[in-house]
Amino acid sequence: MSNQPIKTDMVIVGAGPVGLFAVFEAGLLNMQCHLVDNLDKIGGQCAELYPDKPIYDIPAVPRCTGQELTDLLMAQIEPFGPAFHLNQQAERLERLPDGNWRLETSVGTVFEAPVIVIAAGAGSFVPRRLPLPGADAREDHSLFYAVRRMDDFRGQHLLIAGGGDSALDWTLNLQPLAASVTLVHRRDEFRAAPDSVGKMRALVAEGRVDLAIGQISALHGPAPALTSVTITSPDGTRDVPCDRLLAFYGLKMELGPLAEWGLNLERNLIQVDTTAFETGQPGLFAIGDIITYPGKLKLILSGFHEAALMCQKAFKYCFPDEKLVFRYTTSSTDLQKKLGVA
């Protein structure tokens, strides 16, 4: 990937509901946004942890699911054309001589912007890693916690570990490409969508997927290569030949590289000035569940309020020579034109 910087007005770290609404508020003020998220989908916790779970405290929306809220926010910000950079973690942040920020992600994407907004919820979603000797040495070579390009696994002997939607989805999607697929789970019950489980069991019955009940207990082969894994079950152990292992044990939350950004932290939460939700560093803001201040409520609606105030101050960094005129969408024809409703 080229390291040519992407120059924009605002980079938002986190594509959950609060980050998405920040795009709307920024768009009304002519600020262009790029968003970075460690997940492979837009919506943050709403889309990843409870896409089908009802939410009852969004103003004027009596009931919606996490995915429905995400979809509504995406429709709302569509006029502003935000750019999303998924499957990558915001890593290195530094101040440039001209006062702007330089942000680099885990895959080498580089941004330069006067404003950085941290809207990372409780931190980054990171995969639960395999706690076995030799696992770290094989990561991104023969051991993977995500699939970024399906074609990378074409013709490979795959072992897929896990019992949730990710494990089942990739079993179904990669089976036509792979030389062989073995699915391993600690028990013969799955947390995935019933339709996916049914399709997997049909492939097992046809002999196109091997289902192994047990847990991975050892990795074999000269690292970073992999030749087989040992699976242990109450009936004993067996070695399964494979050259690629995909482990889907779920996600956990970590502050990650943000901890190295020189922020004022209190119990892994960022302290901010509540007049504009700015951190101790000019042009570096934080909103949503990742911040703390007296009276802070961890509610989506609170994050929406924080995003609106943040953008008022961010405007001054993006357009220092322009005067900010506050307008309402109900009465401003200029704003209505931006939204495509004039």
Give residue limits of the domains in the chain.
6-126+252-339, 129-249
Residue-wise pLDDT for 131-148, tens only, equals 999 999 999 999 999 887
**Model pLDDT, residue 289:** 92
- CA-nearest of 1, 2, 12 to 101 is 12
**Model pLDDT, residue 125:** 67
Does this chain's domain 6-126+252-339 share its CATH topology with 129-249? yes
Q: Does an H or E element contain 69, and which?
A: helix 66-77
Instruction: Give the span between the Cα atoms of 162 and 183, in whole angstroms.
Output: 8
Residue-wise pLDDT for 196-236, tens only, equals 999 999 999 999 999 999 999 999 999 999 999 999 998 89
Residue-wise pLDDT for 253-304, tens only, equals 677 788 889 898 888 899 999 999 999 899 999 999 999 999 999 999 999 9
If you average pLDDT over every residue of the chain, what do you get?
93
Residue 1 pLDDT grade (very low, low, confident, very high; cuts 50, 70, 90): very low
Supply the CATH classification number for the domain 129-249: 3.50.50.60
Share of the chain above pLDDT 70, in %: 98
- CA-nearest of 187, 183, 177 to 196 is 183
Instruction: Give the span between the Cα atoms of 26 and 9, in whole angstroms.
Output: 9
Supply the CATH classification number for the domain 6-126+252-339: 3.50.50.60
Residue-wise pLDDT for 181-198, tens only, equals 999 999 999 998 899 999
Residue 2 pLDDT grade (very low, low, confident, very high; cuts 50, 70, 90): low
Using CA atoms, how far residue 132 sits from 126, 140, 146, 239, 278, in Å, is 17, 15, 18, 15, 41
